[in-house]
Structure 1
């Protein structure tokens, strides 16, 4: 299968390897688009990035995993948020073709990602990859990332640079930490995995495709991932809204959940 002159067909690859290769393929397409189009019309660039990455991913899933269902941020009908067939499927790919569309359209901004995750009935998230094309690396469940080292000072907390929850300043004060504004959920979780920050806290609106692949990678790396009230993260739900998220080093989970309970 070919889209925009690139080809990938991995019928026999493991799901983890396939997720990584697909995320990286879409990432290369997005980097090429940025280079070719430039940043003179950011709205056009963002729209074209969403479209091209989505079409590439859909084509490759159809070729390499034809029997699986799909939930995509950019999807329509059965591949989008209102589809119903995925609810009875045993395997569902949950994808965000371009996480951080706003950042993608900003010259010099590297906080955008490609998310590819697989949910399986009775198992939950079983494979995932987060490509950070402008940063030059990909994190995936096929090669579990090393757990970051221990916190040496107050925790660094990644938050949305455009819409952080109103209580984040109080959370930082209560935990002795500091806030690090960033774009893209994938970039924020990747920062926790790599040790750039120690936690990522979000509330106020997300969907399954925003967190599925990052959470799959984070859990594989031994990190804590949950709702901000401590509840488990559930995927392939009837309504794909999944509005809040906590990803952090495991030794910080208890204190963060305790402080969050007092703030919510």
Structure 2
């Protein structure tokens, strides 16, 4: 089982990766390097840092990273860290945008037991060791957070069925934490994600008292042979039943 120190460890390494990424941004700005290269350089350096910190701090655990080769030994491991070195590379490469994140999560028996989501642009890291307090429900229209460029079928259905307004934002981590922070009410995604996109955000969301599941309400399961996990629902708990009903068949 996860140890108390695992929560702080996850938060610490996610925060360190975020600080590195801010430094990479500053380096590119100072040297005039092509901003199109910033995405790849940020991913590369953050991945190397996180893998090194995990190897030093949790050498017996397996790791699944978006930026690393998949070692299938993770499938029989008791503890698997699932990381996304930069979630929202597009937003990361567009300073001063802050809607990007670093994800670090620990999975045991297909369930995330530890999670940390760093929002470096906001100098904030949310984690399961000190779950954030969920703000009171919003009195206004439902705020449905969606992609900056393509809202997606799930967001469109929620607006049509439940009413409300779209809140456009970058990475999955930033969208999920917008609900934790009280800036949005529902995040529903369909059309393709991988385990590293949702694992840490779902862990933090659940720890904060939010609902997190597949669109049909079934549990999110991690450390599968194929890490493709195409859909996600994170929302305030009082909205879960209505959202699941609205999304049936999407």
Whether TM-score is above 0.5 comes out as yes
- With structure 1 as the length reference, what TM-score do the two structures score? 0.90
Residues 198-217 of structure 1: CA distance to partner in whole angstroms, max 9, x if unpaired? 11111001000000000000
**For 1:231-250, what aligned pairs fall within 5 Å after superposition?**
231-250=218-237
1:13 offset after TM fit, Å? 7.2
Mean Cα displacement is larger for which, 141-150 or 92-101? 141-150
SS at match of 1:134: helix
Q: Which residue of 2 aligns with 1:42?
A: 35
Partners of 1:14 and 1:52 lie apart in 2 by: 25
Match of 2:106 among 118, 122, 144: 118
Q: Which residue of 2 aligns with 1:23?
A: 14
Task: Confirm or deny: 8 A CA contact 2:157 2:246 kept in the other structure.
Answer: no
**Residue correspondences, number:** 246
Q: Which residue of 1 aligns with 2:130?
A: 143
Match of 1:70 among 63, 72, 93: 63
**For 1:55-66, what aligned pairs fall within 5 Å after superposition?**
55-66=48-59
Q: Which residue of 2 aligns with 1:132?
A: 119
Residues 161-203 of structure 1: CA distance to partner in whole angstroms, max 9, x if unpaired? 1332135334213212111111000000000001000111110
Match of 2:87 among 76, 96, 99: 99
Residues 129-150 of structure 1: CA distance to partner in whole angstroms, max 9, x if unpaired? 0000011111000101101211
- 1:152 maps onto 2:145 in alignment: no
- 1:202 maps onto 2:189 in alignment: yes
Task: Confirm or deny: 8 A CA contact 1:192 1:248 kept in the other structure.
Answer: yes
Task: Confirm or deny: 8 A CA contact 2:157 2:247 kept in the other structure.
Answer: no
Partners of 1:235 and 1:255 lie apart in 2 by: 25
Give the direction of change, closer, same or farther, for the CA distance of 1:48–1:195 in structure 2 (3 Å limit). same
SS at match of 1:143: coil
| Runs of at least 5 residues in structure 2 that lack an aligned partner in the other structure | none
Partners of 1:167 and 1:143 lie apart in 2 by: 31
Partners of 2:156 and 2:16 lie apart in 1 by: 38
Partners of 2:12 and 2:131 lie apart in 1 by: 15
| Runs of at least 5 residues in structure 1 that lack an aligned partner in the other structure | 1-11
Runs of 4+ in 1 over 2 A off after TM superposition: 166-170
Task: Confirm or deny: 8 A CA contact 1:154 1:175 kept in the other structure.
Answer: no
Partners of 1:183 and 1:37 lie apart in 2 by: 21
Task: Confirm or deny: 8 A CA contact 2:104 2:115 kept in the other structure.
Answer: yes
Give the direction of change, closer, same or farther, for the CA distance of 1:167–1:230 in structure 2 (3 Å limit). closer
1:66 offset after TM fit, Å? 0.3
